[in-house]
Amino acid sequence: PHIRTFGDDFHTCAVQGAWPLIDNDYLYVQVTGAPASQGTHHTVVTKITIIFKSWRQCTDQQLYQAELDDVPAAFADGSQWSGERRGRRVLTVRTDSPGRHAEIRAAYIGTLLVVRQSGRSLGLSVRSPRGVLEAFHPDHDLQLCVWGCPASYRVDALRPPPLPHAAGAAEAHCAALLPTRDVYYHACVFDLTASGDLNSSGAAVGALQDARSMTGSGQGVHLLPAAAAGPAG
Amino acid sequence: CRILRCNSEFVAATVHLSGGGGAALSSDSAYCGALRSYSLCTKRTARPCRGDLAYHSAVQGIEDLLIQHRCPRAGPTARPWPRPQGAVLGDACLYERSFVSREGRAPEYRHCSVFGD
């Protein structure tokens, strides 16, 4: 999968198995990657696990799990919210598209998480205060959202794999969907070329939508790769 | 079942005592008070937790620790967890509101995403 880190680095990461994205005093987020298809080392996220750790009088521990074709709008125990203070629920789950989208708001840590299924992969976007993200022990040094993808697992997203889909057609399709030749555009071309599945472009489009709503302004949404910048199309 | 809250309150009540080591703790009335509070907390949540393995582990663990540390069954309990009072403290579970009232500005947010093929 592609990773935009809290520090606005962008990596394409061929990791398999379970990897932590966030591991701090409040939150543990883990993604599980599996090969996109037989015979390829490209991987997709097939499972997302989120543990909200018990925090003082605000909330008890809660577990959220999403898998491919099963993105529930509820925690693992079936509840849709936890903790209530002054008439406000401090941890809630809701959905705009049952089975394919979930939005989790953790007001007690000012954190928003959005889980989406696009095509045959899952995606996750997180917005969290710096003070929350920095509350971890130095031992917790494997957090893809904090440190990015380990160098040995990185793939060059500016060089999409050849076949099965023609690169020109992928570029045209992604340019029609994404306004800027930014990392989301390159991720879209990469995914389309690797998978040959037009639906896979939805992942980059959804991630850009989340970046727009989570970063709150035009500036800083479009990360530009060093080798390419400017309008798409 | 609120056993995780009981566990958290016990950890919070004893975390500052652990520096003295196990031997020092055995004579520490504060530790015994925290254990008695923990025990009371489990009793309050006994009914909803009756099928919960963590609850039964906690109850058994408390019994063992009370014996191990020779704690009297009756006696003072640890000071209860401080509950929020007033408008500002009442916002303790609303991060942004509490941050703004403490720092006078909105927190700095960061964004991360993982997506694609």
Candidates B106, B95, B114; CA nearest to A146 is B114
Tell me what pLDDT residue B45 has. 85
- Cβ contacts of A61 on chain B, cutoff 8 Å: 4
Q: Tell me: the pLDDT tens digits for A138-170?
A: 777 789 999 999 988 888 766 656 555 567 888
Whether residue A128 contacts residue B113, with contact meaning beta carbons closer than 8 Å, is answered with no
Four-point Cα dihedral A90, A96, A102, A104, nearest 10: -20
Shortest Cα–Cα distance, B61 to chain A (Å): 20
- Render pLDDT for B89-102 as a digit per residue (tens, 0 to 9): 457 889 998 899 88
Amino acid B27: pLDDT: 52
Can you tell me the ipTM of this complex? 0.89
How far is it, in rounded angstroms, from Cα A5 to Cα B110?
Answer: 9
State the Cα–Cα distance between residues A118 and A101, nearest whole angstrom: 9
Average pLDDT over residues A124-129: 97
CA A122 and chain centroid, separation: 8
Across A16-30, A44-58, B30-44, B86-100, least confident range: B86-100
Task: State the amino acid at position A146 in one-letter form.
Answer: V
Identify the residue among A12, A62, A128, A174 best suited for mutation to test binding to B, counting B beta carbons within 10 A and taking the highest. A128
Q: How confident is the model at residue A35 (pLDDT cuts 50, 70, 90)?
A: confident
- Do A107 and B95 lie within an 8 Å CB cutoff? yes
Contacts of A45 in chain B (CB under 8 A): 114-115
pLDDT in tens, A68-94: 999 999 999 999 999 887 788 999 999
- Give the helix/strand (H/E) hosting B109: strand B109-115
**Chain-chain contact of A60 with B5 (C-beta, under 8 angstroms):** yes
* Predicted pLDDT at B62: 93
Whether the ω angle into residue A164 lies within 30 degrees of 0, i.e. cis, is yes
Q: Which amino acid is at B83?
A: R
The predicted structure's pLDDT at residue A26: 93
Give residue A207's pLDDT: 94
Per-residue pLDDT of A213-223, as tens digits, reads 998 766 678 78
The alpha carbon dihedral of B29, B30, B36, B39 has a sign of negative
Which candidate, A126, A225, A135, places its Cα nearest to that of A182?
Answer: A225
Query: Residue B87 corresponds to which tokens in the numbers above?
Result: 């408008």
Partnered with residue A17 across adjacent β-strands are: A33
Q: What is the pLDDT of residues B14-56, one digit of tens each?
A: 766 754 444 444 457 888 888 999 999 898 888 888 888 989 9
**Do A21 and B114 lie within an 8 Å CB cutoff?**
yes
- Supply the pLDDT for residue A161: 60
| Max Cα distance, chain B (Å) | 61
Q: Is the CB of B115 less than 8 angstroms away from the CB of A88?
A: no
* Range from A54-68, A101-115, B21-35, B82-96 that averages highest in pLDDT: A101-115
pLDDT of residue B22: 45
With bands split at pLDDT 50, 70 and 90, how would you rate the model's confidence at A49? very high
pLDDT band of A34, cuts 50, 70, 90 = confident
Whose tokens are 């009297």? That residue is B72
Q: What is the mean pLDDT of chain B?
A: 79
User: Nearest-CA neighbor of A7 among B111, B107, B108?
Assistant: B111
Q: Are B75 and B32 in contact (CB under 8 A)?
A: yes
Share of chain A above pLDDT 90, in %: 56
Angstrom distance (rounded) from CA A70 to CA A104: 15
Arithmetic mean of pLDDT, A18-47: 87
Of A86, A126, A210, the CB nearest to B90: A86
